[in-house]
Amino acid sequence: MKGQFAGRMANVQKSFIRELLKVAQDPAIISFAGGLPNPGYFPVQPLRRAADKVLAQDGANVLQYAPTLGYLPLREYIAQRYAQKTGLQIHPDEILITNGSQQGLDLVAKILLDPGDEVILEAPSYLGGIQAFSLYQPQFRTVALHEDGVDLAQLSEAAARDRAKLFYALPNFQNPSGITYSAAKREAAARILHENQVFFIEDDPYRELRFMGDDQPPISSFGRERGFLLGSFSKIVAPALRMGWIVATPPNMDKLIIAKQAADLHSNYVSQRILHQFLLDNDLDAHIGTITAVYRRQRELMVSMLEECFPPEVSFTLPEGGMFLWVRLPEGVSSMDLFNEGVKANVVFVPGHPFYVDGSGQNTLRLNFSNTDEAHIETGMTRLAQALQNVMRQAS
């Protein structure tokens, strides 16, 4: 019948979190819902000065069409930072600038996935990844996460299947769980994927937000032939710039360039130039150090409130960085019931079930600590603890 939407749209829902943020717009509500950086630490004036400089010195070129791969000095900066921070040796032509790492997920899915291909996901997994892949009509298989990373036996079994095409993971301060893979798990996962010739998306937007513990090598450092390494400036500079990137080897990059050109020709060139000027004129490591010091305090307060105010049957992760805590309620206690009770008390979070593709996670939830100051964390967690008491009383 004429006028119907494409079949690929049938099973793709609006982002639960984007819809939830509409509720959080009420200034009376304390929100632990969005995965948002703290706007109090956006470098507003340095970015303003960078914008003034690039437009004054090179305005005509800045406002022109640009190469698909992106501004070469910005790609060189990213490559140099990988070498400095991780030891990865990456050529600038192996870096494609994208409109946020979310576009990176879409482009990789576009060049790899046919309907029915199997995509292996962590359980739980990032909702934006689930949404991006769903448009290409894959079959999802999930592997459990433990405190030190993916369940290797489950990953090996899933990767060995005939239609297994892609494994998607966030090994540093995972969204939503906050879990970080150990070095041993990283190397073992890379070996499993190589042996089974499965492509790998290593989504790594939080790597620089470590505030305790030791840095771990990218999984890509154990082999990049079938890998795509995604990064972003959204969490360490400003999300509205929409500046992310994909690292890929030349054969894979050729396909990505075609997909990128078909989508939007190139990413926002003005943002690229302003961002690069900001990076030249400012100490990014010092800026990140300021952010992570704040996030550590906010994380520690939220953990202490969970320990002091919530019943002992409630368990939670202890992230070494990033922006999220993952909470598991007692069996039989619904996080949606808690959400509804929390709204009455003017506090919101993200229930956990949207992060699963199999309908599980009904007693889980994600708490964001990065976007709320310490006074509001204390008030909001007190309200949430009382809301949980109400829900558990009603359930019993």
C-alpha distances in angstroms, 384 versus 120, 287, 392? 34, 32, 12
Secondary structure, 3-state, 42-70: CCHHHHHHHHHHHHHHHHHHHCCCCCCCC
Pairwise CA distance, residues 109 & 134, whole Å: 9
**In angstroms, rounded to a whole number, what is the distance separating the alpha carbons of residues 263 and 352?**
32
> Which domains does the chain possess?
7-42+286-395 (3.90.1150.10), 45-281 (3.40.640.10)
Give the CA angle between residues 4, 7, 8 to the nearest 5°: 130
Specify the pTM.
0.94
Q: Give the pLDDT of the chain (396 residues) as one tens digit per residue.
A: 566 777 777 777 766 666 666 665 677 899 999 889 999 999 999 999 999 999 999 999 999 999 999 999 999 999 999 999 999 999 999 999 999 999 999 999 999 999 999 999 999 999 999 999 999 999 999 999 999 999 999 999 999 999 999 999 999 999 999 999 999 999 999 999 999 999 999 999 999 999 999 999 999 999 999 999 999 999 999 999 999 999 999 999 999 999 999 999 999 999 999 999 999 999 999 999 999 999 999 999 999 999 999 999 999 999 999 999 999 999 999 999 999 999 999 999 999 999 999 999 999 999 999 999 999 999 999 999 999 999 999 877
Preceding peptide of 330 cis, ω within 30°: no
Q: Please state, as a whole number, how many other Cβ atoms lie within 10 Å of the Cβ of residue 204.
A: 22
**Strand-pair partners of 234:** none
| Element spanning 129, H or E | helix 127-134
Structural contact between residues 257 and 96, judged by C-beta atoms closer than 8 angstroms: yes
